[in-house]
Amino acid sequence: MSEFSSGFWDLYIAVVSVVSIVACAVFLKLQSARRVSTGSIETTGHTWDEDLGEYNNPLPRWWMWLFYITIAFSLAYLALYPGLGSYQGLWQWSQVKQLEEETARADKRFGPIYEKFARQDVAELAKSREALAIGQKLFLNTCAGCHASDGGGSRGFPNLTDRDWLWGGEPAAIKATIAEGRTGVMPPFGPVLGEQGAKDVAHYVLSLSGAAADSIRVARGKDLFAENCAACHGAEAKGNPALGAPDLSDKIWLHGSGEAAIVETITKGRTNQMPAHKELLSEAKIQLLTAYVYSLSAPPR
């Protein structure tokens, strides 16, 4: 792909764009220069429905001038704004620059509101209606796309309201998750266990939460679990927040329950990515967002 990063393609795009616009202007001029004769009516020879003919007349003048205006606008736009390869335009506008300017104005206006909460304890902020109202708006703008507007999550995206935490539910752990992000990896064990071994382990895992399971497979799967899975999930399958390994005994399933879903997880593995938000949100906003997320599953006050 190195050939697409050279300066040639910037020039190529610029030339093709400008030549195309100029060619449209020339073509329009040629098509609108002819005068209509006063003699017989000339047609293109196309006829529909036996008697509906297509006249060979120039464009109406008002229509022609609209095309000229469009062409002039196109050339002015490409001169002022980026659109010709790497050319930045006379006004030096860019989406990133506009976003940075709008963000700076918003921070100047609303920054003091956020900052007054920045040094307050998360547990105390979780009791403040004002702080939670701001935190909810931050959550809806930043987190609801994955975790749903009520924090209930969906398949593959954790429920933030059930007190079941992959990486820990204390304020410090939640804040670290939001700021730094998380990457959870369940390696594929299909090559190690084989089809039948994966089913045996799946039935053992099902039995841990009281779900219906084949007792024979459970017995076989117990030893396989101890050999391959206990290092992350623990001997009792209670999970490990340091690794993001889930508790397998609590009837809460991130990627679906049932034999088929669990076998798929064991066989193919899973990779979950929680993006870091420290570059997107200020320290004060992260503090407020942490308080709101904490409040979703905090014990009743």
Secondary structure (3-state) at 279: coil
Question: For residue 86, what pLDDT is reported?
Answer: 84
Question: For residue 43, what pLDDT is reported?
Answer: 74
pTM over 0.75: no
| Domains of the chain from N-terminus onward | 2-80 (no CATH), 96-181+276-297 (1.10.760.10), 184-274 (1.10.760.10)
Q: Which residue has the higher pLDDT, 61 or 224?
A: 224
Q: What is the DSSP string of 18-53?
A: HHHHHHHHHHHHHHHSPPPPSSSPPEEEEEETTTEE
In this prediction, residues 73-90 reach a mean pLDDT of 91
Non-local (6+) Cβ contacts of 119 within 8 A are none
Q: Which two tokens stand for residue 122?
A: 């998360």
Q: What pLDDT, in 10s, does the model give residues 265-288?
A: 999 999 999 999 999 999 999 999
Q: What pLDDT, in 10s, does the model give residues 28-66?
A: 888 776 665 656 667 777 788 877 888 777 778 888 899
* Letter string b/e over residues 193-211, b meaning 16 or more CB atoms within 10 A of that residue's CB: beeebbbbbbbbbbbbbee
In this prediction, residues 244-248 reach a mean pLDDT of 95
103 pLDDT tier (thresholds 50, 70, 90): confident
In 3D space, the residue among 73, 85, 76, 35 whose CA is nearest the CA of residue 56 turns out to be 35
Question: For residue 107, what pLDDT is reported?
Answer: 86
CB of 152 closer than 8 Å to CB of 161? yes
pLDDT at 228 over 90: yes
Question: For residue 1, what pLDDT is reported?
Answer: 45
- CA-based radius of gyration for the chain: 32
In this prediction, residues 131-135 reach a mean pLDDT of 95
Question: For residue 26, what pLDDT is reported?
Answer: 92
Q: What pLDDT, in 10s, does the model give residues 232-241?
A: 999 999 999 9
Q: How many CB atoms sit inside 10 A of residue 287's CB?
A: 25
pLDDT at 138 over 60: yes
Secondary structure of 64-118 as H, E, C letters: HHHHHHHHHHHHHHHHHCCCECCECCCCCCCHHHHHHHHHHHHHHHHHHHHHHHH
Mean of all residue pLDDT scores within the chain: 90
Question: For residue 54, what pLDDT is reported?
Answer: 81
Q: What pLDDT, in 10s, does the model give residues 158-191?
A: 999 998 999 999 999 999 999 999 999 999 999 9
